Structure 1
Amino acid sequence: MSRTLTVGLDGSAVSMAAVHWAAAEASRRGTGLRLLHVWDIRPDVHSPLALTPAEQDRRSDWIPRRAADQVRAAHPALEVATSYVCGDPVEVLCEAAAESELLVIGSRGLGTVAGYVLGSVSLAVAAHAPRPVVFVRGPKEDPGSPGGPAAPQPPGTVVVGVDLTSGSDAVLAFALAHADRHGAAVRAVHSWSPPPFHGAESTPAGHDLTAEVAAAKEAALAEVLEPWRRKFPAVPVTAQCSLGRPAHELVDAAQDAGLVVVGRSARRSPLGAHLGAVAHAVLHHCLAPVAVVPHADV
């Protein structure tokens, strides 16, 4: 795997927001940056008018070159490569992710990512990319503007969702390393629901049992976080363990986040995408950039 961050872009303001986020991240990591434009193989997805092969080449090559000019102006020391590929967007982007430290895609949220409908291309990439994928929210004020370097933003807390029933090492490693690079704090969020049979709030016994489960969950979360606190001693880490719906609690906790990190199982299935309800909700509703990190189930 090369030391490169890859951005999938289409020339829109949304994808340009992803470009500038990735350029800043590549500079912090000391990696190169690859700007990748995917020309969809379907003939009717770009324009009702047929384009000649030469026109397609000029259009496809112009988009990453234009983005590269903006990146080089803002980050003159950054090594920037451009490329475009004609092919299936999901396959091309997943292959690019496999060759990169990180894949970054622009996200309009509540509907589309990098110009594609969430639930098709973007959802498939999030669910099947073998490496972490970051979805960056586009600018609000002018969706049709060409985009440009965003104003410097404070690092913001890195909010990470922790699932105590499956592998969390890859997710926490990504979150803590990002926070360490950016001088940010980490908030580890775990939410749980009581077993439905004991009547958690309806009887004294149910209330006591809920309190016992809460204490056990808090202890388990603290145990999971302890080695990461030792590995990244400069990163402040707080734990949020609460009774509630995981997706709802994580979205609420991420209101002022600089980055939200969620995991998804790295298992492969021929039956389609398996992203998970929590990651799906976060991608739809969080305003902050969202990192989806594949992990192995335990």
Structure 2
Amino acid sequence: MIVVGVDGSPTGLLSVDWAAKEAVLRGVPLTVAHVVPDWVCHPLPGRYAEVGKWMRDGAREILADAERQAREQGAEVTTELVPGDPRAALIKTAEEAELLVVGSRGLGGVRGLLLGSVAHGVAAHAPIDVVLVRDPPAVPRGEIVAGVDGSEGGRRALEFAFAEAELRGARLRAVQAWAWPRPSGFEPADPEAEREAREALRLNLLVPRQCHPSVEVIEDVVHGHPVEVLREAASGADLLVVGTRGQGTLKGMIMGSVSQAMLHHAPCPMAIVKVTSS
């Protein structure tokens, strides 16, 4: 099952479209969830009764529009009106799901911000894989981009990216950024360090390549900061895939610094692939 959150915003409808297509590709049902305050789901007396009814009617219209859009993509759809805080409620609704999909910004977003508070909260705290949907490229290039760093999170990101590429008949661009910081910036490019980075990427690709032999793979080793390298590589891509708890992550944190940064800077839909606590 895939769960997608909607709020009536244009980004929410983009998320439904993305999630419905993904559900069809995976052959799984789709649940469309809309969250409202607790009190809206329980009729109140007096002047609040009309307000509650108005909000419930609006919520049903949002769900009906989303369901109609998902069915146009051929998805098997159910809808849920969920009470509570949007972040906690969406995470709870997706407890049994394999993927949670949300828009990068909803109706509550502040103009100019790239990421809404609900999207950030869900991405940071959901224990399952999450996809944040932004405007897809006008002309899809048939390419999935995965960030690779040799960590467990990077390994999971590769597994997810290979599976997505195979489902979509897309090629996979595996990107490994390499740079060593120093007080004045980064160490200059070094041929031996680049050779080691290329060999590390080749080794990281061995197992998933064997599991998905039909996927065309581009090995991309770039000297630079991972955030800048991934942002450039993902420009125009169908999907960017990053893992959590990368090499730079402090123990106990849910997301690594690169994953956090890409929440704000990814130029395309992005999957945040989770590594469970050990």
TM-score range, shorter chain: 0.7 to 0.9
Structural mapping, 1:19-168, within 5 Å: 19-41=16-38, 52-72=51-71, 74-76=72-74, 78-107=75-104, 112-113=105-106, 115-116=108-109, 118=115, 120-138=117-135, 154=140, 156-168=142-154
Structural mapping, 1:154-233, within 5 Å: 154=140, 156-194=142-180, 196=182, 200-201=187-188, 210-233=190-213
Aligned with residue 14 of structure 2, among 13, 17, 29: 17
Aligned with residue 253 of structure 1, among 220, 233, 253: 233
- 2:246 aligned with 1:279: no
Letter in 2 for 1:121: V
| CA offset digits 1:274-294 (Å, max 9, x no partner) | 433322332222331111111
Give the deviation of 1:11 after TM superposition: 1.3
Letter in 2 for 1:190: Q
| CA offset digits 1:90-126 (Å, max 9, x no partner) | 111112232211111122xxxx356446363221210
Distance 1:88 1:241 in 2: 42
Distance 1:291 1:132 in 2: 7
Letter in 1 for 2:15: A
Determine if contact 2:172/2:217 at 8 Å carries over to the other structure. yes
Q: Could you tell me which runs of 5 or more consecutive residues in structure 2 were left unpaired when the two chains were aligned.
A: 41-46, 247-251
Corresponding residue for residue 144 of structure 1: none
Q: Secondary structure at the match of 1:213?
A: helix
Give the deviation of 1:17 after TM superposition: 0.7
Q: Secondary structure at the match of 2:182?
A: coil
Corresponding residue for residue 146 of structure 1: none
Letter in 2 for 1:196: R
Over 3 Å counting, the alpha-carbon distance change for 1:84 and 1:255 in structure 2 is: same
Give the deviation of 1:244 after TM superposition: 0.8
Q: Secondary structure at the match of 1:233?
A: coil
List structure 1 segments (4+ residues) > 6 angstroms apart after TM superposition. none
Over 3 Å counting, the alpha-carbon distance change for 1:12 and 1:18 in structure 2 is: same
Distance 1:119 1:9 in 2: 13
Distance 1:84 1:16 in 2: 16
Over 3 Å counting, the alpha-carbon distance change for 1:11 and 1:113 in structure 2 is: closer
Give the deviation of 1:23 after TM superposition: 0.9
Over 3 Å counting, the alpha-carbon distance change for 1:217 and 1:231 in structure 2 is: same
| CA offset digits 1:134-165 (Å, max 9, x no partner) | 1111489xxxxxxxxxx9x6462100011224
Q: If the length of structure 1 is used for normalisation, what is the TM-score?
A: 0.78
| CA offset digits 1:172-196 (Å, max 9, x no partner) | 1110000000000111111121363
Give the deviation of 1:245 after TM superposition: 0.2
Over 3 Å counting, the alpha-carbon distance change for 1:235 and 1:84 in structure 2 is: same
More helix by share: 2
Determine if contact 1:155/1:182 at 8 Å carries over to the other structure. no
Distance 1:243 1:123 in 2: 29
Aligned length: 260
Over 3 Å counting, the alpha-carbon distance change for 1:179 and 1:211 in structure 2 is: same
